[in-house]
Structure 1
């Protein structure tokens, strides 16, 4: 069975979409839900914090509530796919993210914004888990290019990061302090345009992965790997929540902020080539450990200096590794479990990651409020990522008894 034939096709019956093009289209859900819906908040955060008189804890809470939604969405993802189907899970999740962006533009009320961030998390998880599992099947149909094809999906958020990085800082500079809501409108329009291609392909499946897949996945053999992914969730989100504020505090204007954020986004595009051989390592958690270690190095660099070159290096090193960590967990699932277990296994990984990123922003925000410097946030971020790398290094391959239904 060719996945590109049975999962998503051009509306023209005489022409089947190329798997790479299919996966790039599916990745637009992650572009909207994660690249813009989650990460663009960091670009608007400094202006929102100043205008709405938030503490760092309150600012962190907005990403924590987003992560709570993401966690809840991941917990429900398999059942949602079973109930409404692949197409509705991916498209509906993306539309929920789009609605949440519009709500962010309409109000400065803390609780209404919290609701918007919660909905964005729910929608992003539905689209991401469904899209990731579907991508794994499409990739499996081309085993010689599987890791490259997987990486294409996980590079999707980079498009959103790059685009929002080019829009938000200059919009804020042009309209001045208090114009954060205008940025949200601009991002809403951008996301609406990016959602359209998801409705121009057919997404269908004759295989219901959700059916009976729970019995084929056991947590115990991968507990240390889940712990590593938890550390990644907690560590990366601190960097991605507060780094723009750090760049601004260091004297970086709109151009510096756009360049920094843009470099993280652009780095996603080299991920498929840069990590291809590492992602092919079928040796337990080794691939994840190598990539997470690189991620930790990128997060640690700003601690040592705030020159333009130094911050740019941090953005590139962090960005190249950041997107690949998620890809490495999907490769790990693909190597160690049968296809029927993939949605459940990916959801388990996403839940562990989700718990980490739920705790990360608010804890780091509280530390920053207490100690008075964002440099502590970066210290915590780098340390958590390094711990995650060490934990992943200890994960061995999952034995056959754990990987068969």
Structure 2
């Protein structure tokens, strides 16, 4: 592989990538996933069905899909760093909108905006992180995994705060949680706006390169199933725990364990992420993710749920990292934004369909357990399909 130019400003790649990881921290860890923490109170207060509750994540995912579709064009026009920064600011605005109204349509727009912004930040950030990581080829996979651990910071922070805010202010205080999440996002966005991402990063990776779907269609299908499967777990598990009698402490502990597990991701999976053997790395990691998602099916034990959170979390963040590693191994640097966008589109379609379908299943059958069964099955099937992906001879 011909590595892109390595500017001197990348003398501290780990620090830059950690700052860059705050973009998905805001866009995904808070902007998308914190919704699960306030969902039960919003559903009770606003009299939503599970389908309506699922729709809020579906519209968020639709925005993410739209953002992914236009990400490559946006990056070519404005550059990687600008796409990351503007996308993150859009996510902050969306959080503030969620705090000021209970109107279903305004909330839907806010969730849509959060999705668009998160995709711009994620696709641009993933390509920029891959570029920065290439400045230290011997540590590239480890450095890249730091970026994908970013959402865990947002999940951990929101998990430590939101349940106790709800408990302290009582029923109907979901909007106060959104204000707290907005303040948290503002603090985390400041380093992203100030970081010295080198201007040349916007020039070396943004040349348009043709991306062929056919050689990776089976891999894209597996990633689609990951998108559809994981979102049900992340959307409804807090409601599942609350329905089982879990209070603020239990909800906070469960959510925080998912976030904490992200910090182990770079060390747990660095050798697996280094496997340049088609979809094998994704198969291994996604298989572990499926096991974590399946555990709540077998009961409500505290230890079982804690183990589920840790196993699901440590693999969840690495699945996305494995797709970027796959792109880095199989495509030239000029193709990275386009290839990452293609992966994100496939993922986005899956997570767009997942919440509304699972919500409808739950409304029809009156049980979240069945929805979680479907979630785990989709993740397992995605792992199986990824095993059939071979290397792409694109350069």
The two structures, once aligned, show a CA RMSD in angstroms of 1.2
How far apart in 2 are the matches of 1:313 and 1:85?
41
Identify the match of residue 348 of structure 1 among 334, 337, 342: 342
Query: Offset of 1:5 from its aligned partner?
Result: 3.2
Q: 1:5 aligns with which of 1, 4, 7?
A: 7
Deviation at 1:86? 2.1
1:12 is matched with which residue?
none
Match of 1:155 in 2: 149
* Superimposed CA distance per residue, residues 290-349 of structure 1 (whole angstroms, 9 cap, x where no aligned partner): 000000000000000111100000000000000000000000011111111111100000
State the TM-score, normalizing by the size of structure 2.
0.97
Partner Cα separation in structure 2 for residue 3 and residue 278 of structure 1: 27
1:369-396 CA distance string (max 9 Å, x none)? 0000000110010000000000001111
- What secondary structure sits across from 2:245 in the alignment? coil
2:354 maps to 360
Conserved 8 A contact 2:4-2:131: no
* 2:367 counterpart SS class: coil
Among 179, 183, 201, the residue aligned to 1:185:
179
Q: Which residue of the partner structure matches residue 137 of structure 1? A: 131
Instruction: Show the counterpart of 1:53.
Output: 47
In the comparison of the two structures, how many residue pairs are matched?
Answer: 391
2: CA distance, partners of 1:190 / 1:76:
28
Aligned to 2:69: 75
* Matching residue of 1:211: 207
CA distance in structure 1 between the aligned counterparts of 2:348 and 2:339, rounded to whole angstroms: 14
Is the Cα–Cα contact under 8 Å of residues 289 and 379 in structure 2 kept in the other structure? yes
Mapped to 2, the partners of 1:305 and 1:287 lie a distance apart of: 30
Which one of the candidate residues 27, 30, 35 is aligned to 2:24?
A: 30
Distance change >3 Å, CA 3–CA 192, structure 1 → 2: farther
What's the CA shift for 1:82?
A: 1.4
TM-score, scaled relative to structure 1: 0.95
CA contact (8 A) 1:4 1:22 kept: no
Classify the secondary structure of the residue corresponding to 1:54: coil
For residues 182-210 of structure 1, the C-alpha deviation after alignment (integer angstroms, 9 at most, x for no partner) is 00000000000000101221223432423
Q: Is the alpha carbon distance of 1:142 and 1:101 closer, same or farther for their aligned partners in structure 2, counting shifts above 3 Å?
A: same
Structure 2 spans left out of the alignment, 5+ residues: none
> Where does the alignment leave 5 or more consecutive residues of structure 1 unmatched?
10-15
Q: 1:76 to 1:68 in 2, by over 3 A?
A: same
* CA drift at 1:81: 1.0
SS in 1 for 2:196: strand
Q: 1:389: which partner in 2?
A: 383
C-alpha distance in 1, partners of 2:4/2:390?
A: 31
Contact 1:238 1:377 in 2 (8 A): yes
> Is the CA contact 2:80–2:127 (under 8 Å) kept in the aligned structure 1?
no
- 1:145-185 Cα distance to aligned partner (Å, 9 max, x none): 01100100000000000000001000000000000000000
Residues 207-249 of structure 1, C-alpha deviation per residue, up to 9 Å, x if partnerless?
2423222x2x211000000000000000000000000000101
CA contact (8 A) 2:289 2:315 kept: yes
* Residue 174 (structure 1) aligned with residue 168 (structure 2): yes
Deviation at 1:17, TM superposition (A): 5.1
Counterparts of residues 303-382 of structure 1 (less than 5 Å): 303-382=297-376
